[in-house]
Each structure stands twice: as C-alpha cells, then as structure tokens.
Structure 1
C-alpha cells in the first residue's frame, strides 16, 4: 500500500488532482497547474500555518485544500492553527475555520472537516429536506427524501491508493452480478438469499420500490465488488429491538468479489459507507447493523471501525448482534485519508 509520507498528489472527485510540494517548514499547493496556496509550517503541539504572503485573504477552496492535504498526510493529526489577518467568510460559516480567542488566529478541526459534504457526495445531501411525520405500516416516521440515482459518493483512499465509490444499484445492469454473489457458498451462508435470476430480480425490484431502503454497489477504482443495503431503521424490523431515532440508518453488507476481501479493504469501504450515510443527512446520529451473532470476523471488523456491540437479540430468522456507530464517535476518531 502507498506510503502516506511519500504522497505528492491527491486526486479529487470533481476534477484535477491536488499537487503538493512540502518540505519540513513549507507547503505549496497547486491545482490544475495553478497555484492555490503557499504556507510556512511551524511544527509544535499543533501545526501552525502562516501565509507566505501576509495580508492576503485565501480563498475558502485553498483553505480546504490545505486541510485535506495535511489531514490526509497524517491521520492522527486532529487540529491545525491558522494565522490570518482576514479569514474567508464562507470558510467560517461552514466550520472549515473556527475563530479563537486570539485575534488573527483560527483553527481547523479534523472532526469538522470530514463532516463537510463536498466534494465527496455525488449529489446534494438531504439536510434541506423538510421534516413531516407520517404513519406507514403502523410506524410513525419522517417522510423520506426521494432516493438518489447514480453515483452518490466518491473519495480517493490515499492509504489504499485507490478510488472508493458508491452508486445506486441498477437492476438491469447489476442483476447477474448480484445473482452470482448471492449464490456463492460464503455469501449464502450468512445472507441465505441464494436463488434464480428471476427471484433476485423480484427481490431487487421490491427494494427499489421501497422508500425506506437504498440499494448500493460499492466499487474500488470503478470495479463493482460489493452490495449494500442502507435503510431507515425507524421503518425497519430492527426498530422494536432498540431505542430507535427518526434518522438512524441501518446497513446490510455483502462483499462479492474474493480479491477485494481482507481487513484493509473492509477498513476502506466500511468507513466510506458510514461516511456517506452521515453526510447524506446531518440529522443521522447513528448507523446500526445486525450481523449474525456468530459472524465473529465481521463483528471484529466493525469494532475496528468504531462500532460497538450493544447487545445480542433474536430475530425470527437469526440470533443477531446489534452493532452501533455514533456520529460523534465516528468523526472524533475519524481515520479517513
């Protein structure tokens, strides 16, 4: 896997790559051959950032680029301190920069940076979708925003040196692949959904018509390797088994391609999936899952990504472990790069 210390380029989902020339005390960032920002770096308990051209007001996108570069290069770095005579207003309004008690001093926090939805989301997040409560199938819950179509998330994983992305499932495109995955012995052991093409077409079309469930295909470098179901927990069968909130999301996960298995791949796609769901609606405070209680490997992988096992409980069809990931815990311990 790539060495983060040797990074000089970070591809961006929205276009050209971010290029950096970094020494012990200087950082120059360029985008599409155009200079973005030049900084003097002062190392200490917190990295201090000084503009090499004092008095200028950096563009918010330049501040964002510096944060992305420095947080990706050192996943353990939690904060940056900026020294600016003037800070861009939109950077302050978004939380990219936070004013301090010291005049001309601002900070950027890893936990806030990774909650900014762009450029990772392929489509606008649902934070503007109004809340209206309804009752369906005997359950009271918010009206859900229309489901997206196409790519919904993309990010270059610098640790893997690969793109990780999520797109919505298209039945005509993905049916044969889904059928092959479900009929593998390993997947069938846990999902118990082996069957014919027509059975799987019916299964996927039913979920496509269900407003509470979003079916997703996970890709590495645009190669499909996994199938995910993201559901609103309030309307799901899991709701009676814990203190469910209106915007909790649940996940079902299936890795279909054998060459994309392994803990380093799980760390990438599971973090990306959780990141997408937390960005999609900032009212989502928890992501939950209910793997089989005897699926020790998956439970261990999830615990490695900050999920905790709240309890075991009995579904009609299985003994399950309730795995919970809180929004605060995810972003406070965020290892995204």
Structure 2
C-alpha cells in the first residue's frame, strides 16, 4: 500500500468504506487524502465510516489515540478483527494539514500585551509567501492566498483602488506612492495580515485579515481574544460571478478558521449598503448582530461562528 491511502483503494460498503489492508506502522494522517476525495465529491455528506483490518493490542490503542487527537477521526471502535473509524464533515474540514501551506498562528504560547489601552494576546509573526492552497472543484481552479509583497503587489493594488467600482466602498483613490505606503503600513502592523487572493496564480482580490481585539471594531461588541475580522476588495470583476464568488469567499473564511483553532468567530463590518457582501456572508452562515456608526460609515456588524460554519455551511 502507498504511504497515503488513495480513494481508489477504498471499497464501498453498505454503511461506508473499507480497506483490505493497513500497515501496522501507518500514521492516521495517511487516511486524509482518501477522506478528502470522499468529502469533496459529496459536498453534503455529513459523516464517513471507514473499516480497517486491525488486531486488538497496544498498538491499536496508540493508533486510536493519535487519530482522535490529530483530528483525523471522531470515534473508533473494535468490531472483531477490524477497527471502525468515523469522521464528521465538521472535523474533516478543520484539519489544517491539507490546505495550510505555512505555519499556523496557533504555535506561540499565549502572552498578553497592552497597546492603545487594549489588552490582547501577542500575535504570531506573519508568514511570507503562499499560506493557503485549495482546489475548488465547483469552478475547476485552485484558490490560493499569499502574503502581500509590497514591491510585487503595489502596482496591482494601485490599479484596483483607482477603479470607480472599488472606490465606491473603499474611498481610497490615490497615487502609487500613497498605496505603497498603505501596504507597507499593513505589513508592519502585527494585528493585520494583508493577503492577495489568486485563482490559478492570477491575482484577483485583496484581503485584510485582522485580529478584532485590537481593531477599531472591538469597542462595538464583546470581542474575543482570537476573533478575526475581514476587509476585502475584488479587483478583477471576472471573479464576481456567483460560482467564483462562493468559492473564494468560502476559501478565505476557511483559511481564517484554520489558521488558529482558537478563533471562534469571524467578524465583518461592511457598509450597510454593501448588500451583496452581506448577503454572501449570510449564505455562508453569518448573521447580522446590529448596525452601528463608525466615524466614516454606517456599518453592519456581521458574525460567522466556527460551530455554525463547519457544522452547517462551510467548505
């Protein structure tokens, strides 16, 4: 058997799938590619059952413990000389190893600091390069997120911000120098992670993922230590069709939850007349908590909860 189980090696059974062989020294994560095939082919499937040949001994106990602790399965039970594993949709889609391509934000010990009279955790350094990669079968393209490189991305960001369509909501038309200075500031800000969204390596959008506790939105709701927020603009209107929009919106939310398992909520504060943005967040499980006034806009406070996203909507 290969180091990783392929979908073709699984035999359908009346209540799931089975493997005819399983190496005794195989790690639980070697099941993930096959689970990915199952869950991605059947978007509405809520659970997968796998049966493996496994003797009942100490090695089995170690395997079960690892499989559950590493987030590969939810339950495991012996049935004669086999091991029956079950994995839920919510558990599978919270498995970071398939899509995160950079270290997550969860590795640092929790330490607190005070900045601008706000107490919040010290944030992990932002990774460089590509941080998330996922093939989107609904559009037949690979969606990626990479950290902004000011030298590489300023011209693109400058062109996007000077589009009338983008300026209607961002109100940030300006010179290349102004836009370069803005990106430099965001890259240096520990609470903001600026990202470029691409389909098949073609840039089409700019995303600002931020920690809500130290952001301007924090005074308007009870912000958790690891809540995250999102600002975005789509610079290439070819990627605003319903299918592509759902794919990339799902992708950015998925990344934000995967990057730190302590993140229980994602928040947005779009202008209240940005109805399309708000509607798409609602389609992906969000709700509008309230409307409120920033100095520069009337905003809707939109919240996506982790449990709702992975359990009912999500990837």
TM-score of the superposition, structure 2-length normalised?
Answer: 0.90
Say which of 290, 297, 306 aligns to 1:311. Answer: 290
1:37: how far off?
A: 6.2
1:70: how far off?
A: 0.6
The 3-state SS of whatever aligns with 1:187 is helix
**Within the alignment, does 1:63 sit opposite 2:63 as a pair?**
no
Correspondences of 1:73-222 after superposition (within 5 Å): 73-86=41-54, 88-89=63-64, 90-100=66-76, 103=79, 104-222=83-201
**Which stretches in structure 1 are left out of the alignment for 5+ residues?**
1-28
**Which stretches in structure 2 are left out of the alignment for 5+ residues?**
55-59
User: Within 2, Cα distance between the matches of 1:175 and 1:160?
Assistant: 28
The answer for the alignment partner of 1:25 in structure 2 is: none
Bigger mean CA offset, 295-304 vs 182-191: 295-304
1:255: how far off?
A: 0.2
Say which of 224, 246, 255 aligns to 1:267. Answer: 246
The answer for the alignment partner of 2:18 in structure 1 is: 50
Structure 1 residues 136 and 37: alpha-carbon distance in aligned structure 2, compared to 1, 3 A threshold: same
1:59: how far off?
A: 4.8
Name whichever structure is richer in helix by fraction: 2
1:182: how far off?
A: 0.4
TM-score of the superposition, structure 1-length normalised?
Answer: 0.85
Contact 2:196 2:207 in 1 (8 A): yes
The 3-state SS of whatever aligns with 1:80 is strand
User: Within 1, Cα distance between the matches of 2:26 and 2:74?
Assistant: 15
Correspondences of 1:220-239 after superposition (within 5 Å): 220-239=199-218
1:35: how far off?
A: 6.6
User: Within 1, Cα distance between the matches of 2:268 and 2:34?
Assistant: 35
The answer for the alignment partner of 1:40 in structure 2 is: 11
Correspondences of 1:284-295 after superposition (within 5 Å): 284-295=263-274
User: Within 2, Cα distance between the matches of 1:31 and 1:295?
Assistant: 48
Q: Supply the RMSD in Å over aligned alpha carbons.
A: 2.2
List structure 1 runs of 4+ shifted beyond 6 angstroms.
29-32, 34-37, 54-57
